[in-house]
């Protein structure tokens, strides 16, 4: 009897200790345990090599490292992507500065927080019977949508070639994203279009005429950016910062030459490229990537000027109406970006 009581006493103390420890674990703040990942849909409006800044943090686990369970979705066209962002179905997105300027000019809540690609990198392609820029008179130019980045870039192209859409009777047709526009040129449904160099492999050597690359113009242009709403930054600021951290970390990975093989493979898989085309897509990407991806403010001003000439409400906008770099600036000042 005494032996049983002596035996039960340490068991009872052990059991109570376990119960106490379990209760403490269950009732303790989340920070004391493994944090639940924050689910987030991130969209992108085009399919080209600079989307690697989303693909890499997803596939390398960088989003999860920073507490984000990210779902990456393609929503073609800057206007549709912006609508999805404003509706909250994809509250953060990659798209150009042009849709953001259009949205803000119309009174919507949209803001650009990272400059993913601050270069005007479009190649110019036309049907085989168009041999020089002057041959674009009276022709149709395919764009992703009206008010899109490809639309504004097409205006810049015409200006560079001393062409005018009204005087020279050049019309714009909304076709879709760059791969779709490439196929439209090949099929003869449009006469010319712009597409990123990483997409040009779909059309190069198949008959169409190459008329040059817009980067040669030296015009500042935010061709791709991380965008969201100011409401999202206020309500889910930690989530937005985690996404920025993952993308900045991915940029550092991309720019490390030792990671060339991994980066090339991820681009090739997502763009369905093989061999030399995949290598060219990697080589084309590197000059676009910035270790500190601040948006080019001169490019924002230029976009406001071009669009403002056609829309008085946009003409009244300032860069601070379009851009908020507070998260990136805070990370930069903290030493996170090396």
pLDDT digits (tens, 9 = 90+) for 28-41: 444 433 469 999 99
Averaged in consecutive runs of 10 residues, what is the pLDDT profile of the chain (338 residues)? 43 44 43 71 94 98 97 92 95 95 96 94 93 96 88 89 94 92 95 91 92 81 95 97 98 98 97 93 94 94 89 96 98 94
Q: Identify whether residues 109 and 233 lie together within a single domain.
A: yes
What's residue 35's pLDDT?
66
Contact present, 101 and 320 (Cβ < 8 Å): no
CA dihedral sign, ordered 123, 129, 131, 132? negative
Same structural domain, 114 and 135: no
Residue 10 lies in a domain: no
Clarify whether residues 138 and 83 are in a common domain: no
Say which DSSP state 272 is in. Answer: T
CATH of the domain at 84: 3.40.190.10
Same domain, 157 and 282: no
Quick check: is 5 in a domain? no
pLDDT in tens, 249-279: 999 999 999 999 999 999 999 999 999 999 9
Same domain flag for 88 and 169: no
**What residues form DSSP beta bridges with 125?**
193, 210
Residue 99 lies in a domain: yes
Q: In the prediction, which pLDDT does 16 show?
A: 45
Same domain, 183 and 212: yes
Same-domain status, 205 and 244: no
pLDDT per residue over 292-321, tens digit each? 999 999 999 989 988 998 899 999 999 999
- Tokens 């639309």 correspond to what residue? 151
Residue with tokens 């920073």: 66
Residue where a domain terminates, one of 166, 192, 217: 217
Q: How far, in Å, CA of 38 to CA of 110, rounded? A: 22
For residue 131, is it within any domain?
A: yes
Collapsing DSSP to helix, strand or coil, 106 comes out as coil
Query: For the chain, what is the domain count?
Result: 2
Helix residue ranges, H only, 50-192? 52-59, 62-65, 78-87, 97-105, 149-160, 178-187
Q: Give the per-residue pLDDT at 4.
A: 45
The domain boundary, picked from 217, 239, 262, lies at 217
Are 114 and 244 within one domain?
yes
Domain of 183, in residue numbers = 122-217
In the numeric block, the tokens 């206007």 are attached to 79
pLDDT at 5: 44
Is residue 13 helix, strand or coil? Answer: helix
Residue 308 belongs to a domain:
yes
Task: Let me know: does 186 contact 206? Beta carbons within 8 Å.
Answer: yes
pLDDT digits (tens, 9 = 90+) for 217-233: 777 789 999 999 999 99
Exposed/middle/buried for 107, CB within 10 Å: 0-12, 13-18, 19+?
exposed
**Token pair for residue 205?**
């050597």
* β strands within the chain, DSSP E: 38-44, 68-74, 92-95, 111-117, 122-126, 140-143, 171-174, 192-196, 209-213, 224-228
How far apart, in Å, are the Cα atoms of 292 and each of 98, 106, 224, 282, 327? 21, 30, 15, 19, 12
Q: Does 24 fall in a domain?
A: no
The answer to whether residues 84 and 227 belong to one domain is yes
Same domain, 177 and 128: yes
- CA-based Rg of the chain, rounded to a whole angstrom? 25
Compute how many other C-beta atoms are within 10 angstroms of the C-beta atom of residue 84. Answer: 19
User: Residue 71's pLDDT is what?
Assistant: 98
For residue 14, what pLDDT is reported? 42
d(CA 160, CA 320): 28
Same domain, 56 and 160: no
Q: Which of 217, 239, 274 is the last residue of a domain?
A: 217
Both 287 and 324 in one domain: the answer is yes
Q: For residue 32, is it within any domain?
A: no
Is 28 contained in some domain? no
**pTM assigned to the model:** 0.80
């Amino acid at each position: 009897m005494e032996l049983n009581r002596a035996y039960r006493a340490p068991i009872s103390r052990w059991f109570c200790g376990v119960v106490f420890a379990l209760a403490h674990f269950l009732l303790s703040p989340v920070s004391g345990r493994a944090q639940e990942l924050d689910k987030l849909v991130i969209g992108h409006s085009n399919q080209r090599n600079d989307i690697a800044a989303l693909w890499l943090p997803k596939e390398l686990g960088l989003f999860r490292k920073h507490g984000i369970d990210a779902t990456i979705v393609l929503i073609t066209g800057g206007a549709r992507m912006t609508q999805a962002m404003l509706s909250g179905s994809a509250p953060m997105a990659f798209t150009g500065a042009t849709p953001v300027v259009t949205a803000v000019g119309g009174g919507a809540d949209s803001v650009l927080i990272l400059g993913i690609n601050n270069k005007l990198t479009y190649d110019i392609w036309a049907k085989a019977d168009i041999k020089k820029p002057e041959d674009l008179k009276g022709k149709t130019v395919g764009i992703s949508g009206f008010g899109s980045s490809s639309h504004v870039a097409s205006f810049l192209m015409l200006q560079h070639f001393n062409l005018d859409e009204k005087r020279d009777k050049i019309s714009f047709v909304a076709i879709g994203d760059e791969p779709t526009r490439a196929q439209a040129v090949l099929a003869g449904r449009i006469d010319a279009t712009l597409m990123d160099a990483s997409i040009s492999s779909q059309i190069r050597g198949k008959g169409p005429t190459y008329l040059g690359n817009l980067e040669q113009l030296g015009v500042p242009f935010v061709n791709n950016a991380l965008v969201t709403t100011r409401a999202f930054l206020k309500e889910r600021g930690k989530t937005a910062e985690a996404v920025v951290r993952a993308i900045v970390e991915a940029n550092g990975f991309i720019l490390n030459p030792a990671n060339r093989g991994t980066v090339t493979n991820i681009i090739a898989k997502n763009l369905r490229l093989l061999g030399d085309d995949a290598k060219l897509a990697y080589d084309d990407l590197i000059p676009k990537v910035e270790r500190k991806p601040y948006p080019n403010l001169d490019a924002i001003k230029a976009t406001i000027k071009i669009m403002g000439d056609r829309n008085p409400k946009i003409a009244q906008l300032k860069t601070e109406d379009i851009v908020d770099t507070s998260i990136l600036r805070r990370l930069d000042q903290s030493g996170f970006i090396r």
